[in-house]
Amino acid sequence: MIPHLDGATVLTAAQDAVKAVNQAVVPYLSRQIPLLDLKLQSNTICAVVHNLLARGISELNNAWQLREKGSAGGDLGGPENIEVEIKTTTDRRIKGNRIKLKTGYFICLFLSKPAPEGLTLREVRCGYVQRQDWHVMPKTQFAYIKPEVIQMMDRVFPATETAVP
């Protein structure tokens, strides 16, 4: 787990972020359109959940500060100069940038694909990732955290080891 950050806080913030996206509406032409009815790309929805999760953790535990986008360090800054990166995905792979392979603490959220009937939190994992834990994709800018590393991370949700679609 991440020092000074309990799984219950992470899970509460993650569940509330998903709930907020599911309930979000956009006022348009004198009516309310559910956010998920806009058929946004998965990475757009993931970005919203990512930012809500970081904000939620910082509000639930004031030892953690939300970092501004583009600032040095992780998405969250905590006690003892601990930095945490947040990654969200709608598939089984956690993507990063091969140029800046991050080492440090990570919160990984696995979500269902966005659909009008709602977004679902499938899995939450937390742990420490090192530079060698990344698989670099040739001829691209992408890298992925190796699946065996994700499996070794602490499972926050679901609580039991069940098959995740």
Query: 94-114, pLDDT tens digit by residue?
Result: 998 876 778 899 999 999 988
> Quick one: pLDDT at residue 163?
45
d(CA 12, CA 141): 33
pTM summary value: 0.90
What integer is the mean pLDDT of 42-62?
95
Domains and CATH numbers, the chain: 7-157 (3.40.600)
> Quick one: pLDDT at residue 73?
67
> Quick one: pLDDT at residue 77?
93
> Quick one: pLDDT at residue 160?
57
